[in-house]
Amino acid sequence: MKKILRDSGHLIRLAGVFALGIAIFLLVRRAIVPPSFGQYGHYRGAVLEEMRARPVKYAGHELCEACHESVATAKNPGKHANVGCEACHGALAAHTEDPSGVKPVLPNVATLCVSCHEADSAKPAHFPQVISKEHAGDTSCTACHNPHHPKPGS
């Protein structure tokens, strides 16, 4: 028995070295691989929560309409019924969180209306478009059109 132990001593020492190596590998891996890695796939699972936590800047028209119901009602029968509030008024999640502190600025109609309605042969033919200089000259769009219900005289 003693002889066997003595003869196989080099094997036991070698096994010890291997065991130590594996233990170090496991410790290092534990230290450097994030715990959520592999939770859903070959990536850090926690990144999904981090991304979801980012702040929203566009509140969404449903939230706007919760307070400004009258505007939504006025818009409904017109051509702009399906244009979201923030398409013209800009990102206003800050206003929904602090309605009195953050006041939206009225958009500049001189540049806003033409950004959609200036004539361009690439635009769909059915889309209402004008050459603004010929259509109105220097007159403001809002002199004739109400942006929430753009048909003149309505």
Partner 1 sequence: MDLSRRDLLESFSKFIILSGAARVGMESLCGAAPSAEADKYKMADHWWSMTIDISKCIGCGNCVRACAEENDVPEGHFRTWVERYFVQDADMEHPEVDSPNGAKNGFPALNRPAGKSYFVPKLCNHCADSPCVQACPVGATFDTVDGVVLVDEKYCVGCSYCVQACPYGCRYIHPTKHTADKCTLCYHRITKGLTTACCEACPTGSRKLADLKNPKDPVHEFLRVNNVQVLKPQMATRAKVFYKDLDGAVR
What CA dihedral angle connects 126, 128, 130 and 135, to 10 degrees?
Answer: 130
Q: Using the rule CB under 8 A, which residue among 3, 5, 42, 106 binds partner 1?
A: 42
The answer to the question of residue 118 lying near partner 1 (CB under 8 A) is yes
The answer to the question of residue 137 lying near partner 1 (CB under 8 A) is no
**Residues 6 or more apart in contact with residue 102 via CB below 8 angstroms:** 92, 94, 95
The answer to the question of residue 41 lying near partner 1 (CB under 8 A) is yes
How many residues in total does the chain contain? Answer: 154
The answer to the question of residue 58 lying near partner 1 (CB under 8 A) is yes
Shortest distance (Å) from residue 35 CB to partner 1: 14
Shortest distance (Å) from residue 97 CB to partner 1: 14
The SS3 assignment for 67 reads helix
Q: Using the rule CB under 8 A, which residue among 66, 69, 127, 140 binds partner 1?
A: 127
Q: Using the rule CB under 8 A, which residue among 15, 18, 24, 43 binds partner 1?
A: 43
Interface stretch with partner 1, choices 13-21, 80-88, 97-105, 144-152 (CB under 8 A): 80-88
The answer to the question of residue 124 lying near partner 1 (CB under 8 A) is yes
The SS3 assignment for 44 reads strand
The answer to the question of residue 86 lying near partner 1 (CB under 8 A) is yes
Helices (H), 106-154: 109-117, 132-136
Helices (H), 1-136: 2-7, 9-32, 46-52, 61-67, 69-75, 85-89, 93-97, 109-117, 132-136
Using CB under 8 A, list all residues that contact partner 1: 37, 40-44, 47-48, 51-58, 60-61, 82-84, 86-88, 90-91, 115-116, 118-124, 127, 129, 131
